[in-house]
Amino acid sequence: MKKASEVYVNGPNADGTMFYGGWYHVCGNVVSSENAWIQETQGLTLDEEKMYVVAERFKVTCGDGSYPLPDDFPIPAIQLDIFADVPWVLDEKYDLHKM
């Protein structure tokens, strides 16, 4: 990927909300934080219990990052991951194939 940020929809939750995620890179170092991303043999997994709750249905975490940075991105850099459950408010029904 050649982006410093991305937002995506993972699809509907059982309660009718939509699960959105995203990440954004910023310059700097993490002074104190427990990274919610855990490296395992099969890849990275997310421990949601280690995420910071910003508001109901909105969580963030930050760390060294798992997505590549553009070649010209300033170093040091951290990755801010964002996860939110957002109500579907459109009249039309969600269609995964239209997204």
List b or e across 11-45, with b for residues whose CB sees 16 or more CB atoms inside 10 angstroms.
eeeeeeebebeebbbeeeeeeeeebbbeeeeeeee
- pLDDT tens, residue by residue, 23-44: 888 888 877 777 787 778 887 7
Name the token pair of 19.
Answer: 């699960």
Domain boundaries, the chain: 5-98
pLDDT band (50, 70, 90) for residue 85? very high
Are residues 78 and 25 in contact, defined by beta-carbon separation less than 8 angstroms? yes
Query: Is 0.85 topped by the overall pTM?
Result: no
Name the token pair of 68.
Answer: 């590549």
